[in-house]
Amino acid sequence: MTPSSRSVRAVALFCLATAALPLRAQTKDQRDEGPVRRWAGDAKAYVTAPLHAERTQWVKFGSTVAAIAFAYQHDDDMREHFVPQGTLATTSGSHNTSDALPAVLALGGTWLAARVSGEPDGRREAGTMFEAAVFSSVASELLKQVAGRERPFVAGDRSGFREGGDSFPSMHVTAAFAIGTVLAESGNDRQRWLRRVLGYGVGAITAYERMNHDQHWLSDTVAGAGVGIATARFLMKRHDAPSRRTFAIVPMHDGLAISYAAVLR
């Protein structure tokens, strides 16, 4: 075999290895970064996400807004189901801790199970739950400041926006659906139905209790669910994204083919 033919063969093997990458050894990716650097990158991507949203994301956003508007039309009817007409609560915040318990148990149970089993996937799942809860809660708090909606027990008026309240959206429901969505959509598909029952059940129970305790309107809970689910799915997609850099070593009968591929932006 002539030197020129060997060179051609080496180039062909290199290109084949680059395209196929049958044995991948990933370089340092998001999972290996420190928590501060990872959270900073996630926060930046989260804040700027609307600037890069595609048509599908805007359609989902529009559907969420429509669901909130529909729920708003039934706020009074739903409140009458839980609270007798004309009844106003005299205290507030007395159920905040108990209403947060389902989400706390879901997060704590996932973290504890991961610690006991030593599964790295479980630890990442618990970490994503916590991060989704934090990010969505911050977003919820910002929306509260903008909306300024009064709680139902304060005046019983669903149109009480820009009144200095903090009802819209429900932060309890936001965090519950953020944690529950990660629980529902993580893991293998063999347990998908059970995970979804438990995960989305956490959010649904929290929403029910917040309305039952006259802390939120129906539309508050729908908005909270939208923020929580969207945040969880965003972070899950970001954390599950394949590494942008791959290094491969492919053993051949007469040597090794080495390749390195990177996605440049």
CATH code of domain 43-242: 1.20.144
Angle between helices 192-212 and 75-82 (to 10 degrees): 80
Please provide residue 260's backbone torsions phi and psi, each rounded to the nearest 5 degrees: -140, 130
For residue 244, pLDDT beyond 80: no
Mean pLDDT, range 243-257, rounded to an integer: 52
pTM for the full predicted model: 0.76
For the chain, give every residue range classified as CATH 1.20.144.
43-242
Q: Which residue has the higher pLDDT, 173 or 50?
A: 173
Residue 139 has pLDDT above 80, yes or no: yes
Model pLDDT for residues 45-97, shown as the tens digit of each residue: 999 988 888 899 999 999 999 999 999 999 999 999 898 765 555 555 578 99
